[in-house]
């Protein structure tokens, strides 16, 4: 699945865009969900340290405000599963995603 948003100004003059949310995907289940994301790293070390945590009420924010090369220090990828990972193996993946051109980004779970 691909999804994108285009913003076009048809009014006279300029518009200052402060924030834009490009997508929202709602999912409901009676099971626990787990979020796997990746700690930052340097060149060729970007995704060596996955971290999995249970999704609880509230909001988890994965973001970077570097503008360019954001994936070098905060990877814009995630995995949502129905089971905690064990032994480095991911099971029952429910949803996974990654930003192709991240720049500055904010993902909220």
pLDDT at site 64:
81
Q: What per-residue confidence (pLDDT) applies to 102? A: 66
Q: What SS3 string covers 50-81?
A: EEEEECCCCCCEEEECCCCCHHHCCCCEEEEE
Classify residue 101: in a domain, yes or no. yes
> Structural domain of residue 39, as residue ranges?
34-108
Confidence (pLDDT) at 105: 81
Q: Is residue 56 part of a domain?
A: yes
Which tens digits make up the pLDDT trace of 63-100?
888 776 655 667 788 888 887 665 556 567 778 888 77
pTM of the model: 0.67
Q: What pLDDT was estimated at residue 72?
A: 61
Mean pLDDT of the chain: 76
The total of structural domains in the chain comes to 1
pLDDT digits (tens, 9 = 90+) for 10-26: 989 988 888 777 666 66
Does any domain span residue 4?
Answer: no
42 Cβ partners below 8 Å, 6+ apart?
Answer: 72
């Amino acid at each position: 699945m691909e999804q994108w948003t285009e913003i076009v100004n048809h009014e006279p003059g300029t518009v200052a865009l402060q924030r834009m949310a490009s997508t929202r995907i709602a999912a409901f289940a009676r099971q626990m969900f787990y979020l796997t994301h990746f700690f930052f790293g340097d060149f060729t070390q970007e995704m060596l340290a996955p971290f999995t945590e249970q999704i609880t009420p509230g909001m988890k924010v994965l973001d970077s405000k570097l503008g360019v090369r954001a994936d070098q220090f905060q990877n814009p990828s995630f995995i949502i599963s129905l089971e905690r990972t064990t032994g480095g193996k991911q099971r029952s993946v429910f949803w996974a995603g990654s930003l192709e051109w991240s720049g500055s980004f904010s993902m909220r779970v």
